[in-house]
């Protein structure tokens, strides 16, 4: 369960208060970011087309007096006078971004272009939430920011991978040509409360399957690795990057450098939920990375940032959230019946 937020919804407004645009602010990451920004005393304008974001993720923020929610698709131009912009607008799980790959590419490319134009118009600093997927199925391990990646340009994941790579290009070109103050972070696997039950990524899949006592589905033999960062740590990294000197444009990796196999993750979820689920194996999806772990030396040195929440603790908090979500779903079904 998430805590009550009454104590953070009317924070004092400091002299340094800013008006901040969060694109994709009703999504998993965006809603946590909006919440943190309001807690810091800023005014937040959240835009979202609700393709994967949900109004209930930010409903508790509406009474703050510092939060505005607008339905808007970043594929369309925008004109809002703000001090800072965070671009988190794009589905991030393979089932969601592959459902409409053309729109996914448009969201990454046209969305970045439209937000950059708005930043240039009002001299706003802007942060791009890029992704570790720009490294593809990496031949360098752990992944450092200087690695150019190993990406399939026309596979089923390319709409996301290449869209984010192109967005980074646009950010750097707007910095060089138009003088826009840019920040780019590359996000590694992140998890926590407010993930959707149908998110499609490995942690949410395993937890939901375990809580329903369904088979836990491992693609491949489970030896592929991931590094899992709790959402609170990640959004702290966003703020640290945004506040860094203008000379630090990025990209900067943000993620947890502790590496686990997918099989180890499944074992932890089973142990923490007490589930009776069996583990079953399915074929690996096309272009699924074999290894994923960030080198966060740059973030540690330049931002003083590193994750604090260990996987076991983060899983407990995420499991508690999903237990509440699934219990609410069961109550609704009972009422309908």
The reply to whether 122 belongs to the active site is no
Q: How far apart, in whole angstroms, are the C-alpha atoms of residue 167 and residue 192? A: 26
Q: Are 26 and 69 within 8 A, CB to CB?
A: yes
To the question of pTM greater than 0.95 for the whole model, the response is: no
Helix, strand, or coil (residue 129): strand
pLDDT in tens, 68-109: 999 999 999 999 999 999 999 998 888 888 989 999 999 999
pLDDT 10s digits, 208-255:
999 999 999 999 999 999 999 999 999 999 999 999 999 999 999 999
Q: Which of 86, 97, 135, 160 is catalytic?
A: 160
Residue 28: pLDDT over 80: yes
CA angle, residues 61, 52, 1, in degrees to nearest 5: 50
The pLDDT value recorded for residue 13 is: 63
Q: For residue 327, count other CB atoms closer than 10 A to its CB.
A: 12
Residues 6+ apart with CB under 8 A from 227: 188, 189, 255, 256, 257, 258, 259, 260, 292, 293, 294
Per-domain boundaries in the chain: 13-191+230-257+287-309
Per-residue pLDDT, 190: 97
Question: What torsion, rounded to 10 degrees, do the Cα atoms 256, 261, 267, 270 define?
Answer: 60
Which CATH architecture best describes the domain 13-191+230-257+287-309? 3-Layer(aba) Sandwich (3.40)
Residues 232 and 309: beta-carbon distance below 8 Å: yes
pLDDT band at 2 (very low <50, low <70, confident <90, very high): very low
């Amino acid at each position: 369960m998430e805590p009550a937020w009454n104590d953070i919804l009317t924070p004092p407004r400091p002299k340094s208060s800013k008006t901040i645009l969060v694109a994709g602010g009703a999504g998993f990451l965006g809603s946590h970011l909006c919440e943190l920004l309001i807690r810091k005393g800023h005014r937040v304008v959240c835009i979202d087309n609700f393709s994967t974001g949900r109004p209930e993720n930010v409903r508790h923020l509406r009474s703050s007096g510092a939060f505005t929610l607008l339905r808007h698709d970043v594929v369309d131009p925008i004109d809002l006078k703000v001090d800072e912009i965070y671009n988190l607008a794009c589905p991030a799980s393979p089932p969601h971004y592959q459902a409409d790959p053309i729109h996914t590419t448009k969201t990454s490319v046209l969305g970045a272009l439209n937000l950059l134009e708005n930043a240039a118009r009002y001299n706003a600093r802007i942060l791009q939430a890029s992704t570790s997927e720009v490294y593809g199925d990496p031949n360098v391990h752990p992944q450092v920011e200087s690695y150019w990646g190993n990406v399939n340009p026309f596979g089923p994941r390319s709409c996301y991978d290449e869209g984010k790579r192109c967005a980074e290009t646009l950010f750097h070109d707007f910095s060089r040509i138009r003088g826009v103050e840019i920040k780019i972070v590359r996000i590694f696997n992140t998890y926590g409360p407010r993930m959707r039950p149908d998110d499609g990524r490995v942690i949410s899949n395993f937890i939901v399957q375990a809580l329903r006592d369904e088979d836990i589905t491992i693609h491949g033999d489970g030896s592929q690795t991931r590094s899992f960062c709790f959402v609170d740590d990640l959004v702290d990294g966003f703020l640290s990057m945004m506040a860094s000197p203008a000379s630090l444009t990025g990209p900067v990796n943000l993620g947890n450098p502790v590496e686990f196999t997918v099989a180890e993750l499944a074992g932890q979820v089973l142990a923490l939920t007490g589930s009776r689920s069996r583990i079953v194996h399915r074929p690996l999806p096309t272009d699924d990375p074999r290894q994923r772990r960030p080198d966060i030396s740059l973030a540690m040195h330049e931002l003083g940032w590193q994750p604090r929440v260990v996987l076991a603790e983060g899983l407990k908090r995420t499991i508690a959230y999903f237990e509440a979500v699934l219990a609410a779903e069961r109550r609704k079904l009972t009422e309908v019946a």
